[in-house]
Chains A and B, each alone.
Chain A
Amino acid sequence: MDTPNDLADSAVSVPKPSMAVRLIRGIGWTSITVGVLILGFVVQQLFVTDILAQREQTALGEAAEEYFDSAVVEDVEVVPGFGIVEPGGNPPPIEPGQSSMILRREASPELGTAFATIRIPKLEKLTEGWTIVEGVRRADLTTGAGHMPATALPGQPGNAVISGHRTTYGAPFHNLDELVAGDRIEVDTAIGTHVYEVRERIVVKPTALWVTDPRPGAWLTLTTCHPKWAASERLIVFAELIEGPNAEVIKAIS
């Protein structure tokens, strides 16, 4: 029978793994760890962000409906050839045969507010609509598409710029590259539904700020990352307002 000393001797006598074995074991564990971390990243990007965005969209959809009822909307006078007559401002003399028109103007929402919905019938992901929030901060874009502050609101004269994720966070603009000239884009705001028609699709550098410049008429500019799964460029879609509560007025003053 083994005595405690014999057992201790036999335990000590277990040979230590050689350097080669330890190296292979180390490489194996490192590979497994790196693999698990990469898998976790893929799952987080593909599925977790999607689930989070879908949940936010449900809440934002209801918030946008409430906003439509509470938004500050005013009717301002517009004189063709002169432009908008600001409330309290001096109206220009109206020539015989000329008449003023009414533009429905919406006050800018606060940052983070859900204030509009975009629908693109051609794109499966956007046939039901995706809520737009005010702002293009990271936090804004993880919840919905984001309207760039200081650009025109959808349905107003100028250039309304809206950014959205292409591959993560619900990927509302995933297939924006399928849009061609003539495709319709609809945007619901507190003053009604504005219908735009795609005019042009281009790819630019992320620093191409000129795409946000104001334009004569009423334009919608959609921006997203390009190519898919990379942030090295931007895909831009320009669309022009063709129908809506302000379409005729804007056409008359442009």
Chain B
Amino acid sequence: MLKRMFNSLPGPTPVRIALGVAIAAVALVALFFFYDWLGQTYLDTGGTIG
């Protein structure tokens, strides 16, 4: 699946690699914020009242 996604990126191979790295970085950051929201909503809110 990853290979298919990589092949579907536009441009020559170096451009595809750069695009792939950029998309992976954005996805990781988005995942981090999602994890953070999940944790602070359901596991440990920081103990706030009200």
Contact A45 B43 (CB under 8 A): yes
Query: Nearest chain B CB to A185's CB is how many angstroms away?
Result: 15
Q: What class of interface size applies to chain B in its complex with A?
A: 10 to 19
Interface positions, chain A 67-106, Cβ under 8 Å from B, are none
The answer, among B1, B39, B50, for a CB contact under 8 Å with A168, is B39
Give the complex CA separation of A235 and B47 in angstroms. Answer: 8
In the complex, are the beta carbons of B49 and A166 less than 8 A apart? no
From A11-19, A192-200, A201-209, A240-248, give the one contacting chain B: A201-209
Q: How far is the CA of A166 from the CA of B45 in the complex (A)?
A: 9
The reply to whether the CB of A167 lies closer than 8 angstroms to some CB of chain B is: yes
B35 within 8 A of partner (CB): yes
Determine the chain B residues whose CB is within 8 A of the CB of A158 once the complex forms: none
Interface window among A55-63, A121-129, A221-229: A221-229
Chain B 8-50 per-residue mask, 1 if CB under 8 angstroms from chain A, else 0: 0000000000000000000000011001101111111111111
A211 touches B36 (CB 8 A): no
Contact of B35 among A44, A146, A164, A167 (CB under 8 A): A44
B45 touches A225 (CB 8 A): yes
Whether A218 sits at the interface, judged by CB under 8 Å, is no
Contact A164–B50 (Cβ < 8 Å):
no
Binary contact readout A135-173 vs B (1 if CB under 8 angstroms, 0 otherwise): 010100110001010000000000001011111110101
**Cα separation A173 to B46 with both chains bound (whole Å):** 9
**Cβ–Cβ < 8 Å partners of B45 in chain A:** 206, 225, 231
- Name the distance in Å between B19's Cβ and chain A's nearest Cβ: 22
Shortest Cβ distance from residue A233 to the other chain B in the assembled complex, whole angstroms: 10
The chain B residues found within 8 Å of chain A, CB to CB, are: 1, 31-32, 35-36, 38-50
